[in-house]
Structure 1
Amino acid sequence: MGFAAVGDVRLFYTDDGSGDTTLLLVHGWGADSHQWSPHIPSFIEKFRVIAVDLRGHGYSSCEQTGNHPPRMAEDLVALLDQLGVERCVAVGHSMGGVIVSRLAVEHPARVEAVVGVDPGYGRPDEIVAMAVAMRETPAVQIDEWCYTAASPAWLREWHRRRLLATPPHVLTEAYDGLWSGPEAIGSRGAAEPYLTRRACPVLTFWTDPAQAAWESGLFTHPASRTVCWQGSGHRLHEERPAEFTLVVNQWLKEISR
């Protein structure tokens, strides 16, 4: 527990709890593993829980290049190797949702199941065009779309401060990796053929029923399903942590039978 040297980076992680199943918790763009603080106490009652700061984020080291989802996913495979974890349930929010889906596609033997939280993939073309047009917009302004009137002020402030502390070049490279990079799956056209390659069970939380309906048509495993919480902000798991952990725990119990 602490830091692990993985290729060209030093990743901060925590490793708590025990059990036959390991949860790998992956945060979103411009955040860090503190994002999972409301959920870890519940999860460690049943599972081994690894929460990691992605390269360039939080307490992990920062490189000038490689700060994009494909490289971040490979970092996590190397971390799992070091920790002796053969298979995990990969849980990811936003950009983390992209990363855990990449793990499921590129390293299927390592992933038992995927839990995505308002993941950063499969958006309609008009949303993708808007995101690309905002590339030069300060991160704290981009972040404003993440909230609704019901989003608590403390959550807005926590993420504002976290974004201000993340190196700008990391934010830019990661942002490009989501929306316009050669391996980006931000658009539906790019996401659809890629996500259908996930063979494991998938549980995805969405705030938009149209997104939930869209992804439901891509599932290949019969235990997969979507949950839609309308009215919640982009960080719905932080706004409703007890309900989120309850739903995840119940679903994992169902698919383990």
Structure 2
Amino acid sequence: MAGINGGAVASAEPMEFVRVNGVRIAYKSTGDGPVPLVLVHGSWGSHHNWDPVVPGLVPHFRVVTYDRRGHSSSERLSGQGSFDEDVADLAALIEHLRAAPAWVVGNSAGAVITLHLAAARPELLRGIVVHEPPLWSLLPQGSPEAAAYEAVERGPLAEVARRISAGDHSGAAELFVDAVALGPGSWVRLPEGMRRTFIENAPTFLDEENDPDARTIDEAALARYHGPVLLTSGDRSPPVFRPVLTRLAELLPKAERVVYAGAGHIPHVTHPEAFVHKVMAFMSRSNSGTRLEARR
């Protein structure tokens, strides 16, 4: 994994809160651009995951970041949750902020939520950008990639769940980062604040793992989404994501694909300038009716 930039300065603007779907959600709206852009973080994370790229986006957008339910400053409810609730929260937040139609960018589990929103509520969207959604139901049955995922599920992910259940949140987070998401030795290279966030949000990852529908999507509903879509990946990411993105490109009529050179699963953290440039370039050439100036 490339070196991670831990020096990004978070916005000094305070978090705001809204109650949607019975849960208190913390969010931040930055910039006064005419076009809304909502950023959806992945598992273990928080709205701070996007701090490295927000400064490059606010000249052009009203940028909304938020902590998904169960993460950091948002409320964590007891009982089994679901990704359907995350999708409903995202829809409700867009509606509360009168941000529709909005661009939505999602990473990892946040990309899963973004794709589900496109399938369920396309009228809320101008277009979407998704990076490496772990939609393992899209892997071809019997393929080497499906076998590789099943090995991870039985091995490191099962051990991550066991450690969280035993209260070893730090050990679980380190194992997930090094053995599942980013590669050996990555945990020690993460900024200290990000490591703390992972540890704090470990219980919600266990909740996600116990959601039987967390890694699935209604392919027929998704195929009816006709807005612009950018599917992104990193050339240093686990190869298991490639067939997922290939299948998504087959399903989505207006999908484009981009690969981040030298990046892995979190390019907005490791390669923020490239991330902003590619996202801006895509949105500029899409049929959104919005003129944006893509700058390196």
Smaller-chain TM-score bracket:
0.7 to 0.9
Q: Could you tell me how far 1:198 is from its partner in structure 2?
A: 2.8
What letter is aligned with 2:76?
Answer: C
Whether 1:58 and 2:81 are equivalent positions in the alignment is: no
Matched, 1:135 2:175: no
1:238 is matched with which residue: 269, 272, 281? Answer: 269
The answer for the alignment partner of 2:233 in structure 1 is 206
Residue 166 of structure 1 corresponds to 201
Match of 2:54 among 30, 33, 40: 40
Query: 5 Å matches for 1:1-257?
Result: 2-65=16-79, 67-121=81-135, 122-123=138-139, 124-133=145-154, 134-137=157-160, 138=163, 139-140=172-173, 141-144=175-178, 145-148=180-183, 153-155=188-190, 157-168=192-203, 170-177=204-211, 181-182=212-213, 184-185=215-216, 192-193=219-220, 195-207=222-234, 208=239, 210-211=242-243, 212-221=245-254, 224-229=255-260, 231-255=262-286, 256=288
1:205 CA displacement: 1.1
Q: Distance in 2 between matches of 1:166 and 1:151?
A: 18
| Larger displacement relative to structure 2 (205-214 or 9-18) | 205-214
**What are the superposed Cα offsets for residues 187-208 of structure 1, whole Å, 9 maximum, x if unpaired?**
xxx5754542332111011124
Change (3 A) 1:210 1:72: closer
Q: Residue 135 of structure 1 aligns to a residue in which SS?
A: helix
Alpha-carbon contact 1:150-1:232 (below 8 Å) kept: no
Deviation at 1:119, TM superposition (A): 1.7
Deviation, structure 1 residue 6: 1.2
What is the identity, as a one-letter code, of the residue corresponding to 1:44? V
Which string of whole-angstrom CA distances, capped at 9 and with x for unpartnered residues, describes residues 76-132 of structure 1?
A: 111122211221111000000000111111001001111011222244422442343
Supply the distance in 1 between the matched residues of 2:275 and 2:250 (Cα, whole angstroms).
23
Mark the CA change 1:251 to 1:32 in structure 2 (over 3 Å): closer, same or farther: same
TM-score normalised to the size of structure 1? 0.86
Deviation string, structure 1 residues 216-242 (Cα, Å, up to 9, x no partner): 322212xx2111235422112211011
- Structure 1 residue 149: Cα displacement: 7.2
> Normalised by the size of structure 2, how large is the TM-score?
0.75
The answer (yes or no) to whether the contact 1:150–1:231 under 8 Å persists in 2 is no
User: Structure 1 residues 127, 72: CA separation in 2 closer, same or farther (over 3 Å shift)?
Assistant: farther
Report if aligned partners of 2:53, 2:272 keep a CA contact under 8 Å in 1. Answer: yes
| Alpha-carbon separation, structure 1, partners of 2:80 and 2:64 | 22
**8 Å contact from structure 1 (residues 135, 175) kept in 2:** no
Once the two structures are overlaid, the 10-residue window that deviates more, 63-72 or 119-128, is 119-128
**Structure 2 CA distance, aligned partners of 1:101 and 1:237?**
19
What secondary structure does 2:158 align onto? coil
Contact in 2 for aligned 1:56/1:167 (Cα 8 Å): no
Identity %: 26
* C-alpha displacement of 1:156: 6.2
Please give the secondary structure, in 2, of the residue aligned with 1:11: strand
CA RMSD of aligned residues (A): 2.5
Kindly state the Cα deviation for residue 253 of structure 1 after the two structures are TM-superposed.
0.8
Letter in 1 for 2:248: E
Number of residues of Structure 1 aligned to a counterpart in Structure 2: 247
User: Separation in 1 of the partners of 2:226 and 2:151?
Assistant: 31
**Structure whose alpha-carbon radius of gyration is higher:** 2
The answer to which of 105-114 and 194-203 deviates more is 194-203
Q: Which runs of 5+ in 2 are unaligned?
A: 1-14, 140-144, 164-171, 290-296
Tell me how far 1:151 sits from its aligned partner. Answer: 5.8
Distance 2:185 2:199 in 1: 23
